[in-house]
A = this chain, B = another copy of it.
Amino acid sequence: MVVKIGIIKCGNIGVSPVIDLALDERADRKDIAVRILGSGAKMDPESVEDVTKKMVEDIKPDFIIYVGPNPAAPGPKKAREILSQSGIPTIIIGDAPGLRVKDEMEQQGLGYIIVKCDPMIGARREFLDPVEMALFNADVIRVVAGTGALRIVQEAIDKVIDAIKEGKEPELPRIVINEEKAVEAMEFTNPYAKVKAMAAFVIAEKVGDVDVKGCFMTKEAEKYIPIVASAHEMLRYAAKLVDEARELEKAMDAVSRKPHSTEGKRLSKKALMEKPQ
């Protein structure tokens, strides 16, 4: 059986670009098909509704993932209503502001994953151009992936896929990814690699606070420019810390790798030259 997964992307968070790739990193899984529908950078209610309805009504996947910033905002709220009523098992993946609607999502019968180390960008015109935006996202992806957060997301989705393949009602994940959970999923061998990853996670989380301050709580350009710029410098260092953590694992030849088999099984290995099992 091939499970058809529908992914809705409205606006962008760090996991957005890699969420589908993380399920099928070498594009050789035979048990899933993915369809993505998105509205680009925008997440206004109209765009989100349009995209979400198309997913529910046209694509009709076995299972839906909605990924984007702030699940509590009007656009995502609209999406949650539609998805909740669609009867299709759905996971909402969002960043920290989504914590406010955690209970609401549970009541809506939706699964959710909140990635706390996936911070808001420094969205000020004097600072954020396409290049800065891309560099920020590169750093976020590094943090999300290298700390283990991405692995939690991927494994949670894989479990839903497994259930559907077995004909079961999938148990939808309801996870708030903090630093402890992330690094546990990453199965670090060297404890210093683990604590460096935790440190990176916490710094990245704090980046979000600083960017919120710079974007929403500060009016004068001469004040908010340094604030959002400092947030991106923080993230740049969080990404460096993640790199340092991974290099420590390399020093022990103990990088945890969990590739998918073509049947969608999650294999595991540590020594570089060994076969995953």
- B-binding residues in A (CB < 8 A): 5, 7, 9, 11-12, 16-18, 20-27, 33-43, 47, 51, 54, 58, 123-135, 137-139, 141-142, 144-146, 148, 150-151, 154, 179-180, 183, 186, 190-192, 194-196, 198-199, 202-203, 206, 210, 221-223, 225-227, 229-231, 233-234, 236-237, 239-241, 243, 246-248, 250-253, 256-261, 267, 269, 271-276
Contacts and interface: CB of A to CB of B under 8 A. Distances in A.
9 closest Cβ pairs, A-B complex: A34-B40, A17-B17, A36-B38, A134-B145, A20-B40, A198-B230, A22-B130, A27-B41, A199-B233
A244 B206 CA distance: 20
A229 B188 CA distance: 15
A215 to B, nearest CB: 9
A21 B14 CA distance: 12
Contact of A58 (B12, B58, B241, B276): B58
Contacts of A34: 38-42
A123 B241 CA distance: 23
A67 to B, nearest CB: 12
Nearest to A148: B131
B194 A226 contact: yes
Given A24-B40, A198-B233, 10 more contacts: A18-B133, A21-B41, A21-B133, A125-B267, A132-B257, A138-B138, A138-B142, A196-B233, A198-B227, A229-B272
Q: Quick one: copies of this chain in the complex?
A: 6
Contacts of A203: 203, 206, 234, 237
Contact of A199 (B130, B138, B195, B230): B230
Given A190-B250, A225-B272, A257-B127, A9 B36 contact: yes
A146 B192 CA distance: 17
A134 B21 contact: yes
Nearest to A268: B129
B192 A253 contact: yes
Contact of A131 (B126, B146, B192, B236): B146
